[in-house]
Chains A and B, each alone.
Chain A
Amino acid sequence: MSQHPTYLLDRAKIEGAHTLAVAQKHGAYEALRKILKEGITYAQVIQVVKDSGLRGRGGAGFPTGMKWSFMPDPAKDPRPRYLAVNADESEPGTCKDRVLMEQDPHGFIEGCLVAAYAIRAQAVYIYVRGEYRHPYNRVFQALAEARKAGLVGKRILGSDFDCEVWMHKGAGAYICGEETGLMESLEGKRGHPRPKPPFPAMFGLWGQPTTVNNVETVFNAPFIVNRGAAWFQSMGTKTSTGNLLVGVSGHVNRPGVYELPFGVSCREIVEDVCGGVWKGKRLKGFFPGGSSTGVLPASFLDTKLEHDAIKATGSMLGTAAMIVMDEDTCMVRAHEIIARFYEHESCGQCSQCREGTQWLHQIFRRIENGEGRHEDIDMLVTLSQGMAPGKTICALSDAAAIPTLAVVKHFRSEFQEHVEKGACPHLPAGTRRPVLAGHGAAH
């Protein structure tokens, strides 16, 4: 195993860290205590997070300190303000927030409170993915303990800081992980993303100033408050600081969630951390950060896992959920499955996304089933270009288009092989894969 300094999962590895007693013995709520006892101001918390270079861990990588500073000055805007924490972790491949919520719920709650303090929010809403029953229960129990201990609610630790934390369970829609879809869902409406502007900092939950942060993002905040910006910057790269949780899934010997600094190479993750591609096979390609970041072929394995380097390859870091595929993987089949996911999860507001995700799925399915035509390959490209970038209300359309563009770019020959052979070359001759159930789509 590689030797990198760690902090995110240190406490999570301790037996019983989900209980308040054990968590507090190992440093939980120290940052909150420090802020409230030493009288650290809101502005100072934002400043130290800005200085640390912390970037959002939800996929877009937006600087967190800057996002917090977008919240209007309470002296000029006395409206109530909220923090919404996005725990609707549903990007295919991503499973990092789950580990934090299950293993270190108090660390997570402390993160919520520090972030709420920085943006002067009087309430935190944690939107948990509906399928995450165990993480939900863990955080729920931890919250009850923390509330009892005076760490959540009115006059936290005897100070004049009031902050209530509420939890909400999603009902299984990917789109509710989009920040405005999440807010609509929290308000009790259909999870239809809202057009921006207005941005959440001005018009968020119930029309009030709101910041939406990822679980891992707020989880980082107490460490930065405790140990300082310089310590945080000592890890990672210049533009992507700190450690991040890398969730590796797919054809590796040791899949899992690993804490690594930004800037380690993808090769180190696959070959060293995860023990190499399984069954002694060779690597064909990998998604660097979840299914909506474009696939990269094995030749990109030396790319450093950080925002700028991955961006230079034409892909995105996303949630750093690496999906590794071995040499026997059918890229068309893999993307048929992904396209089906996006068709199923499109909210249906924007024309491009509603119709385009279905169209892409249909074309992938035809090619995979040997019914593709050569024109279909270029259709995938032109349709994807019509869906992205930035042509729709939210980024789901982009999320369906980007992997399509990437796979045609890097693996065009596989598509041609499917078309020419009239069948999937990865299947024994004469056999067909079972057709995936399409949801309401015409077959």
Chain B
Amino acid sequence: MTKITINGRSIEADPTKPLIHACHANGAEVPMYCYHPGLSPVGSCRICQVEVQQGTGPARVVVACRTPVAEGMVVNTEAPKAHETRRECLEFLLKNHPLDCPICDKAGECDLQDYAFAENQGEGRTHEPRRKLDKRKSLGDVIVLDEERCILCSRCVRFMEEVPKTPQLTVSDLGSRSTISTFMDRPLSGNYQGNLADVCPVGALTLKQFRFQARVWNLKKSLSTCGECSRGCAITVEVLRGQDVKRFRPRYNASVNQWWMCDTGRFSSARHNATERIVAARRTSRGLEVAGLEEALAAAAALLSGAPAPLIVASPFTTQEEAKELLALAKVLGAAAHFVLPAPSGLKDALLNTGEPAPNRRGLAELGFAPLSPAEARAKLAGARCAVLAGERVLELLGREELARSASPKVVTFDTHALEGAAAEACIGIPEQVEKTGTWINIDGHAGKLHVARPAPKGVGPLTRSLQALTRLLQPSSAPAR
């Protein structure tokens, strides 16, 4: 570590990282556009000017993103000269910026907007006509480019080159005519395009999927973990009005996904807005009927209590906490615990996606759950008298249609939706991954936390609690259920 002074405070800085990193790590606010901690620094936007004094030399104003830290360096981020240089630079950046924040999806989380407000540059001195360029240039299925808003920081170009290593973007033409483009205007490809909207410091690159969907300050952000593969990227779940999941965004986690996530994970947010959800149902003489939770649990207990060794099949989305309750249930029933391991998704890549659509595979395996392919699970079910199918998407992964076709075995399901067909004795609703707390263990053994981003539908309780209640009902010497 290198000892330097930032704004009068002595601190230890990481010598492998540029000065701007030390500034940010120590509460000195230095704006940045072209610099991104996950990309190589180019020092082209020139906004991160700070004053640096070394040894006996005079104080100089330099860009913090291209300045290495050196022992004894004295940094003043608020020196009048540095501040003035940043202010001038900002004025140039705003010169051709369309200032269409009221209709810009980035407004509210835009670095340019934030700094312009901080510097009170609401009004410009320019009287010149602003650049007229393409306001909605499609760059493929994921991204749309607004050339007028672009400040040519080249983060997107470097992201494509350095992170997924699929260079597709470039700055074309020169000087004030520069624009971001692809070769021959070909659409972008790859599973990491969504990150371009995150790295873009302004509203130039936005997600088609999120375009005009919400004002970002109306979104409630909750920390969570992506469930699309066993990488378990750290994400934030962003919910509008406590209801619609509007987007998943990657959240920095040094040991899992750094700043990134794949598009498969990012756009899985749409799946969490299904309207129809089950609370509880049980089979009566008239078929499967909506019931109270207690009634459904009682029906489940009635089915399971006399049955010899029922089968327990969990979803790979089951959290560690839920899995432990399933084990308790398995112990009472004398049953073996399994989980469905879906076939590889074919999306495996060298960066993040493991191609294994089972976020808690490692955690479940460590708890002693045996993996079964959907076909193996169905074969095992065919030979069983009754079974418990538990966890988000377990019915979908096992094959709803196949399950619906046969009346045996009799099953108790814990899923977001009911199981159609003759097999279901009791169906109990559970929260989705964005509606519950819990833990998944990723492929490398890192624990990824889930938090409640949106309330579960009325009447739907946590799976852990439903399982506890069922276990209590099945215990021979159990006290009456509370």
Taking beta carbons and an 8 Å cutoff, which residues of A are in contact with B? Answer: 173, 175, 190, 195, 343-359, 362-363, 366, 373, 379, 385-387, 391-393, 439-443
Closest 8 A-B residue pairs measured CB to CB?
A386-B88, A346-B175, A440-B177, A348-B178, A358-B176, A355-B92, A349-B44, A442-B129
Q: Tell me whether A386 and B92 are in contact (CB under 8 A).
A: yes
Report the Cα distance A296→B48, complex, angstroms: 35
Interface of A is mostly: helix
Residues in A whose Cβ lies below 8 Å from that of B129: 442-443
Contacts of A345 in B (CB 8 A): 174-175
Is B46 a contact partner of A358 (Cβ separation < 8 A)? no
CA distance A155 to B127 in the complex (A): 64
- Report Cα–Cα, A379/B178, bound state, in Å: 24
Whether B151 is near chain A, meaning CB under 8 Å from some CB there, is yes
Output the least CB separation between A187 and chain B (Å): 15
B93 within 8 A of A: yes
Separation of A443 and B131 alpha carbons in the complex (Å):
9
| Residues of the A chain whose Cβ atoms lie less than 8 Å from the Cβ of B63 | 195
Question: Contacts of B43 on A, CB cut-off 8 Å?
Answer: 195, 393
Closest B residue to A359 by CB, please name it: B95
B460 contacts chain A at the CB level, 8 A cutoff: no
From A195, A355, A357, name the one whose CB has the most chain B CB atoms within 10 angstroms: A355
Considering the complex, give the chain A residue whose CB is closest to the CB of B43.
Answer: A195
Cβ–Cβ contact B44 & A393, under 8 A: yes
A440–B46 Cα distance when bound, in Å, is: 24
Question: Other CB < 8 Å A-B pairs besides A190-B171, A348-B171, A351-B89, 11 of them?
Answer: A175-B174, A346-B176, A347-B175, A348-B152, A351-B92, A352-B88, A352-B92, A356-B92, A358-B175, A362-B128, A442-B128
- Complex Cα distance A386/B175, Å? 17
**A442–B130 alpha-carbon span in the complex (Å):** 7
> Of A352, A379, A440, which is within 8 A of B173 by CB?
A440
Q: Is the interface of B mostly helix, strand, loop or mixed?
A: loop
Q: Tell me whether A354 and B89 are in contact in the complex, defined as CB-CB below 8 angstroms, given that A359-B126, A442-B130 are known contacts.
A: no
The answer to whether A439 and B177 touch (CB under 8 A), given A190-B171, A354-B152, A391-B85, is yes
B131 contacts A386, CB within 8 Å?
A: no
Is B435 among interface residues, defined by CB-CB distance under 8 A? no
B324-345 to A contact mask, C-beta < 8 Å, 1/0 = 0000000000000000000000
Specify which chain A residues have a CB less than 8 angstroms from the CB of B93 in the assembled complex.
Answer: 351, 355
Pairwise interchain contact B46-A354, C-beta atoms closer than 8 A: no
Let me know if B174 and A173 touch, CB within 8 A. Answer: yes
Which residues of chain B are near A346, meaning CB under 8 Å? Answer: 174-176
**A392 contacts across to B, CB distance below 8 A:** 46
Q: How far is the CB of A350 from chain B (nearest CB, A)?
A: 5
Whether a CB of chain A sits under 8 angstroms from the CB of B91 is yes
Q: Smallest CB–CB gap between A399 and chain B, Å?
A: 13
Question: Which residue of the partner chain B has the closest CB to A440?
Answer: B177
CB distance from A274 to the nearest CB of B (A): 34
**What residues of A have a CB within 8 angstroms of the CB of B171 in the complex?**
190, 348
B92 and A440 form a contact (CB under 8 A): no
Q: A190-B171, A195-B66, A443-B129 are in contact. Are A359 and B46 (CB under 8 A)?
A: no
| A343/B176 in contact, CB under 8 A | yes
* Most chain B beta carbons < 10 A, residue from A195, A353, A392, A439: A195
Q: Is B47 an interface residue (CB 8 A)?
A: yes
A343–B178 Cα distance when bound, in Å, is 12
Q: Which residue of B lies closest to A365 (CB)?
A: B128
B125 at the interface (CB under 8 A from A): yes
Provide the B67-110 mask, 1 if CB < 8 A to any CB of A, else 0. Answer: 00000000000000000010011011101100000000000000
The docked-state distance in angstroms from the alpha carbon of A367 to that of B95 is 19
A373 to B126 CA separation, bound complex (whole angstroms): 12
CA distance A355 to B47 in the complex (A): 14
Q: Is B271 an interface residue (CB 8 A)?
A: no
- B174/A348 in contact, CB under 8 A: yes
Contact of B176 among A348, A373, A387 (CB under 8 A): A348
CA distance A415 to B53 in the complex (A): 40
Query: Is B482 located at the chain interface by the 8 A CB criterion?
Result: no
- Tell me which residues across on chain B come within 8 A of A362, comparing CB atoms: 128
**CB <8 Å contact, A355 and B177:** no
B131 touches A442 (CB 8 A): yes
Can you name 17 A-B pairs with beta carbons within 8 Å? A195-B63, A343-B175, A343-B176, A348-B152, A348-B174, A348-B175, A356-B92, A359-B92, A386-B88, A391-B46, A391-B85, A391-B88, A392-B46, A393-B44, A440-B173, A440-B177, A441-B131
CB atoms of A355 and B95 under 8 A apart: yes
Q: What B residues does A443 contact at CB under 8 A?
A: 129
CA of A150 to CA of B44, assembled, Å: 45
Query: Which partner residue on chain A sits nearest B175 by CB separation?
Result: A346
The verdict on B132 contacting chain A, using a C-beta distance below 8 Å, is yes
Nearest CB of A to B426, in Å: 64
Interface flag for B45 (CB, 8 Å): yes
Q: What is the bound-complex CA distance between A379 and B92, given in angstroms?
A: 12
Please give the distance in Å from B68's CB to the nearest CB on chain A: 9
Least CB separation from B170: chain A residue: A190
Q: Is B42 an interface residue (CB 8 A)?
A: yes
B174–A386 touching, CB < 8 Å: no
A341 CB, min distance to chain B CBs, angstroms: 11
Across-interface contacts of A391 in B (CB, < 8 A):
46, 49, 61, 85, 88-89
**Separation of A362 and B126 alpha carbons in the complex (Å):** 10
Are B176's CB and A351's CB within 8 A?
no
